[in-house]
Structure 1
């Protein structure tokens, strides 16, 4: 039996016992050692009773595991464990990371550059358009857009990212076999082709209310920051924002009408210190230092491919750059583009491996 199958067998047996799952892996270090351990040894781990120890020992041969394995194969899912190189790096560092993820689509290293966009299901026209615009603009800049596939703001953010021809990740509050909401099944397929649809829950898990606050820790954990577009004062989106703070991540909010119910949440967050967002550039400006610190040198091939996909503004700025350092003010004068546009464009070129910032706001071409 493969390592991933053993992880799945343990996950099926433990169901929602997340802390026990973590305790077992930390105690025995490898999944093979968990199953090699005796029932008495398993019972030494906090959270494991003699009854549960027996169930763990029987897990690889259980009908429950075989049914789940059939569902994973039928739904085209991949099992990604916390020990896998494919596991999202941002998520690995939260206090309570899921030990196992069911993934439809693919997770990629670039998903470390992710922003969550969340909000109410009862979205207004303003909220829907704002979520779509932010999703599209961030995706077009190479930022992965994370949300929860729910009606309203979530779906709009995913659709925007797809429009922006970028990556997006949907985090489910149900199992893959119980897609919720059902009308978003086709959207989920589109997301899987352009990114990933993920869940920590067994494939047959119903979308129970208690699943969603727990799911929200994954949304915020995947992301460098969370943007709340529209939300009432008791919205689950505010839970995601609170979790983002607990994870040491940024919190952003879209300001709205002070008399509008669905703007009460974002306005309250801004009052409490969240960064107000009027455009995707506001988000990029705030997280730019962290993004630069996470960037790795791209290969020549990747940079060459990036050159073929430049926007008109990126191409204009790129063509002004040389191997000799130029101050950003010179680039602004030479291109006749607005200062915010040049700042954002230079950052995008850095992300693509085509430019590099030197001390003193000096920039050079790298390819």
Structure 2
């Protein structure tokens, strides 16, 4: 995107009464942000929902002064700009009607991998939630997903750290401009995150982490992801807003159950009870619901190769012998013939995939290697 085009987009975003939904409507009708400002009044009035007040606001030349100031910051700091019509913009977020038309990023973010999951939850994570999160990402590392969270205290930062520990790309979606970090105590994680991932925001450089910004931030977390996982949450909290947004965007939502007496399991239990989230007890639940398959190894540290001698427990050996004898079989058929409940068979099959003794096939089929 050239600087002239970016300048007009920035100016459009500063027009009073223009949000992401209206901006997209105007751009789709006129072809570009520059064309909007050059359009005749009769052309603008032909756009559904555009009235005299908005047309008057589009004539306000002061928006260019604000846009020029932000453009200088972007160029000076060398921020990456992601426009909703360009290839570098998160694919799933393009399909959210209220997704931001512009995103700014810092670091080394690469969206070629379409397996993107968001992990959210309480800022007061317990040892139970911490251990679950770490084990989850350790088990999911073989699928090499991008891990998205909000860089806040608690579940967010544990998810980012666990992703980095497993050499996974991780993205912190911020509720403020890129020229600051909130909370300040998390500055120590910035350099490492930017090596393999980084930060994403829709907010300009002069934006502070105001309360209302976090709700806007949550729609990006939910919208850009294939699935949202709630690790722990009280009865009310921002992570439940993210889960509801993910449901509104027709994304998969997962929640980690806990004891009914645990304060920070109440929100998750309620999501499951009201069927707004799938039950998550292990990585296998996510893999099964999203129908993920292990790709060919591309990273030396996480290469999954068939071993010459593999240690299988009794349950794994039973399933392996069954597949050797019967060939490709559906997950449900394997569970029935080998006498395992579905929730148990999913976990066993994932472990066997990780050991390289079976492989998943399209249509939830599995075969012995």
TM-score range, shorter chain: 0.7 to 0.9
Report 1:93-104 matches (<5 A).
Answer: 93-104=95-106
Question: Which among 274, 295, 305 is matched to residue 315 of structure 1?
Answer: 305
Report the counterpart of residue 29 of structure 1 in structure 2: 31
Q: Distance in 2 between matches of 1:210 and 1:11?
A: 18
Task: Report the alpha carbon displacement of residue 110 of structure 1 after superposing the two structures with TM.
Answer: 3.5
Residue 53 of structure 1, aligned match among 49, 58, 62: 58
Distance of 1:310 and 1:198 partners within structure 2: 26
Distance across 2 between alignment mates of 1:363 and 1:4: 51
SS in 2 for 1:67: helix
Q: Residue 77 in 1 paired to residue 68 in 2? A: no
Cα contact 1:148–1:154 (8 A) shared by 2: yes
Once the two structures are superposed, residues 254-303 of structure 1 have per-residue CA deviations (whole angstroms, 9 ceiling, x without a partner) of 11121111111111112122222222222112111xx46xx9xx9xxxx5
Distance across 2 between alignment mates of 1:36 and 1:225: 41
Give the superposition deviation at 1:14.
Answer: 5.5
Aligned to 2:283: 280
Give yes or no for contact 2:80–2:106 (8 Å, CA) kept in 1.
Answer: yes
Match in the other structure for 2:338 = none
Unaligned runs of 5+ in 2: 311-318, 326-343
Deviation for aligned residue 1:330:
5.1
What is the Cα deviation at residue 156 of structure 1?
0.7
SS at match of 1:241: helix
Distance 1:147 1:263 in 2: 19
Give me the whole-angstrom Cα distance separating, in 1, the residues matched to 2:363 and 2:307: 19
Contact 2:20 2:100 in 1 (8 A): yes
Report deviation, 1:341: 5.6
Q: TM-score if structure 1 supplies the norm length?
A: 0.79
Deviates more, 1:243-252 or 1:104-113: 104-113
Q: Which has the higher helix share?
A: 1
Which blocks of at least 5 consecutive residues in structure 1 are unaligned?
A: 321-327, 350-354
- Cα deviation for residue 155 of structure 1 reads 0.8
Normalising by structure 2, report the TM-score: 0.79
Check the 8 A contact 1:216/1:240 in 2, yes or no: yes
SS of aligned partner of 1:306: coil
The 1:198/1:152 distance shift into structure 2, 3 A limit, reads: same
| Aligned counterparts of 1:203 and 1:133: Cα–Cα separation in 2 | 36
* Partner residue in 1 for 2:193: 191
Moved more, 179-188 or 10-19: 10-19
Q: Does 1:115 align with 2:107?
A: no
Superposition deviation, residue 44 in structure 1: 5.5
RMSD, matched Cα: 3.4
Counterpart residue number, 1:329? 320
* Count of aligned positions: 336
What's the counterpart of residue 361 of structure 2? 357
Residue equivalent to 2:230: 228
Native 8 Å contact 1:43 1:49 kept in 2: no
Shift of 1:21: 1.5
The more displaced of 125-134 and 155-164 is: 125-134
CA distance in 2 between partners of 1:126 and 1:249 (Å): 26
Q: Does the CA contact (< 8 Å) of 1:170 and 1:188 recur in 2?
A: no
